[in-house]
Every structure is written in C-alpha cells, then in structure tokens.
Amino acid sequence: MIRGCRVNIFCRNKRKCEFAAIIMSTGLIIVMYSILIGVHLKIDSVISFKSLRYSDFDPLDINNKSKISNFVISIKHSQLLQSLTPVKENKTIDSHVEFISNQNSSSTISWTEELKPGENMNLKEERYYGEKSDNNNYGINKGSNMGSNVTRSLPDAIIIGVKKGGTRALLEYLRLHPKVRATGPEPHFFDRNYEKGFEWYRQHMPASTKGQLTIEKTPSYFVTNGVPEKVYKMSKKTKLIIVLRDPVTRAISDYAQLASRRPSVKTFEELAFIDNRTKIVDTSWPIIKIGIYIQHLVKWLEYFPIGQIHFVSGENLIKEPTYEMKLVQEFLGLEPMINDSYFSFNNTKGFPCFKKQPNSSRFQCLNRDKGRLHPDLSHSVIKRLRDFYRPFNARIYQITGHNFGWT
Ligand SMILES: Nc1ncnc2c1ncn2[C@@H]1O[C@H](COP(=O)(O)OS(=O)(=O)O)[C@@H](OP(=O)(O)O)[C@H]1O
C-alpha cells in the first residue's frame, strides 16, 4: 500500500520510474567506488610507509625485492595524491618522512628525504651543469640541474663507521642543520654498488642547493677493503667521520641485532671464542673483528691525513649530544646551529631525542631498534673481551689523540 503510494508520488509512469531507479543506483555505485579507491590509495600509502623503516629496509639490497616493490607502489600512490593536491609555493613535501608515535609519547623517526617544489621523484635527468667541482677528482660532483639551483652532489662528507657506533643518531642530528642534506638509507656505494658508477651514486644523493653539504652514512665502509682508495679516487678532499664506541659494547650491540633477526643463532660466547674453555677470542668473527679499530683505521690513513677524519665518541654522543655536535659542526665548517635547544633526554628510551625545529615542542626519538636490550653476559666474558681489545684501544687513543675512556 505504502509502496504503491510512493510510486504514485514520484513516478507516474512505471517504465520511466524503473529507468530513473537504474540511473540513480548506477550513479550511487560509481560514487561509492570512487570513494573506496581514494580511501584505498590513501591507506595503502600510509601502510606502505609505516612498514618501511630504514632499519629493515635497504632499497639497494637485492634481497629486499618485495619491500622494494612495496616501496615503489607507495611512492606512486603518494605521487598520485600529490598530483591531486597541487604543491603550493614554498611548501616542502616530506616524501619519505615517517614519524610514528609510540607508546612512550615520543616518536620514531625514519629516514627523510624532502622534495622541493618543482622537484619530482624522477632521478633520470642526465643534464650536467658542466661546472667542475672544486673538490672532486672527476669533476662530477655537481650534477643534474633540477631547476631553481637544485642539484644532486656527491658527498662532501661521509660517516664511514662504525657499525652500531651511533651513526644513525649522528646523521639525524646533522640533518637538523639547514646547511646539511643527508641521505636516508645507506647507499653502500663503495662496498656493494661501486661498479654502478659515480653517476649512480650521485643520483642516490639528496637534492641540495649551493652552499649545502651532502652527507651520507654507510658504516660498513670503515671495515671494507679497498674502500679508502675508492673514496680517495672520488675526492681526496672528502671529509670522513667515524663514530667510535667501546668495542665490547659495540660487539654486544651487533650481536643483539643479529639475534633479533636470527633467533636461532648460537650464543655470543659460542661465537666470540674459538674455544669456550680457553676463551681465545675468535678474531675471524666479524663482530669481533670490526672492533679492532686500529687495523681498519691504518688503511684509511694510507689515503687520508688524520686531520681529515673526525672521531665522535659514541658514548658521549648519548651523554652530551650538544658537545659532540659542536665539534662535528666545527669540523664540517658549519655555523654551530645544532645546540642544546634541539635535544632532550628521554628517560624512558634512555637516549636523547631531538626536535626538527628549535621552536617546535615535539621531540622525536630514533626507532625502537636503536637502543635495543643487550644480552646479559657474564663478568668473565666481558673481562676477557676488554683484555683483548685494550692494546688495540691504546693505539687508537694514541693516533686520535683522544682517550675514549673504554676500560
Ligand atoms: N639518540 C639515540 N637514540 C637511540 N640510539 C642511539 C642514540 N644515540 C646513539 N645511539 C646508539 O646508536 C646505536 C646504533 O648505532 P648505529 O646507528 O650506528 O647502528 S647501525 O650501524 O646503523 O645499525 C644504538 O645501539 P644499541 O643501544 O646497542 O641499540 C645506541 O646505543
């Protein structure tokens, strides 16, 4: 009765009424479908970004193919979203920035690379300025013109090590400086991708403008044979930075990372000593070998003068980030802008956290896999390792002119 009444009110002619109903429902389906696609793209981008932290994602690692495709998809989605939202003048798009709040009311930072207005993700541009770089043996440092004086340059400075020394923290602190442009993931150019050539390397550097320093970090460079010569060939003026940390805690940190990725791995003691009874240290185990810093450093000194290498104390970078940053900025010839106001010690995390702008109230902390729990090792194991490293450490103190205080 009621249905009949409605039909009568809106459609006098039953066929016209059916036709109108079909048109309306088709329209409704199209609208809902578009909304769903839009939501899907947005969600997918966010999920992809969230799942890709620099710590577990190396886009240059061939074993990470699934992550690469995930990454590429997320970039495409973000580009699509960007093209729907025109970029306003002077607005910076953080294309790869990921700040995820965690339970401790701090945040987690992932790697960052910013796109400037007019710049896009296409790195294929092959035009050169033709300008011979002042610090590059090959004259290829300043590269493709991306418009409005934006270029990609080979690094002016490289954080070459040491693994688990605090290299990520240092790079993220340096990134706070307006005159610094830093890479996100580790490019691994000199140790894994050298055959791809300097142009490949340069294309993996962040966009920069004149006067800005380009900096990358790949801690494996410090211990990889042949890298000092290759860096020298790129530019003998490259400034080198090494974050040194007590080799015993460094080894434990490295092992903690290994165990978190391979839970079935042998115990630290089983791997660190040739024989657990005699406790002869196994120097062929990379986790031990990396900590014999002097052996690696001398290879760099064959190519670079000691004054061209800046040593950061990994321990002090945690205790007094401002002081260590003052020294690094001095070394890089930067105005000392990264000061106390950027840091706040987060007691829950047990590490300094930092803010992107001095006037911001929001502090960000490094990812949760920086500052992992270390396995408990017996005093005798620690003592044995300390005894082992002591003579090597003494030579490091001598050469660098700095007592790092590792006991
Ligand atoms: N601000 C801040 N937040 C968190 N962690 C910090 C920070 N500053 C230094 N560190 C120390 O950095 C250690 C990781 O070193 P790296 O970044 O060089 O590691 S890696 O080689 O890139 O994997 C990491 O080692 P673990 O504590 O063993 O995880 C930290 O001790």
Which tokens belong to 130? 């033709």
Residue 108 has phi, psi (to 5 degrees) of -115, 135
pLDDT average, residue stretch 342-349: 96
Structure-block tokens of residue 35: 């909304």
151 is in an annotated binding site: no
Check whether 166 is labelled as a binding-site residue. yes
Best residue for ligand 1 mutational test, from 164, 174, 287 (most atoms within 8 Å of Cβ) = 164
* pLDDT value for 21: 64
Residue 253 labelled as part of a binding site: yes
Q: Which of 109, 245, 370 for mutating ligand 1's site (highest number of atoms within 8 Å of CB)?
A: 370
Active site residues: 164
Cβ of residue 165 lying under 6 Å from some atom of ligand 1? yes
- Core vs surface per residue 374-391: b (16+ CB within 10 A) or e: eeebeeebeebbeebbee
This model of the complex carries an ipTM of: 0.99
What is the atom index within ligand 1 of the atom nearest the CA of 167? 18
370 labelled binding-site residue: yes
User: What spacing in Å lies between the alpha carbon of 214 and ligand 1's midpoint?
Assistant: 22
Q: On the CB side of 294, how many CA atoms lie within 13 Å of its CA?
A: 12
Q: pLDDT band at residue 145, thresholds of 50, 70 and 90? A: low
Q: Bridge partners of 381?
A: none
Distance from residue 138's CA to the centre of ligand 1 (Å): 35
* Residues 311-326: tens digit of each pLDDT: 999 999 999 999 999 9
Q: Which atom of ligand 1 is nearest to the CA of 55?
A: 23
363 lines ligand 1 (CB under 6 A): no
Cα separation, 178 vs 187, whole angstroms:
22
- For the segment 80-114, what is each residue's pLDDT rounded down to a tens digit? 333 333 322 222 222 222 222 222 333 444 333 33
How far apart are alpha carbons 322 and 328 in whole angstroms? 10
Cα(172)–Cα(169) distance, rounded to whole angstroms?
A: 5
From ligand 1's centre to the CA of 234, what distance in Å?
Answer: 28
CB atoms closer than 10 angstroms to residue 85:
9
How far apart CA 49 and CA 53 sit, in angstroms, is: 8
Element (H, E) at 166: none
Query: Which long-range contacts does 10-16 make (Cβ < 8 Å, 24+ apart)?
Result: none
What is the secondary structure of 267-281 as a DSSP string? PHHHHHBSSTTTT-B
User: Which residue minimizes the CA distance to atom 10 of ligand 1?
Assistant: 166
Q: What is the pLDDT of residues 230-284, one digit of tens each?
A: 999 999 999 999 999 999 999 999 999 999 999 999 999 999 999 878 889 999 9
CA distance 72 to 96: 12
Q: Give the per-residue pLDDT at 407.
A: 86
> Would residue 112 be called left, alpha or beta, if left means φ above 0 and alpha means ψ between -120 and 50 degrees?
beta
Determine the Cα–Cα distance for residues 176 and 357; give it in Å rounded to an integer.
7
Q: Which two tokens stand for residue 29?
A: 């389906």
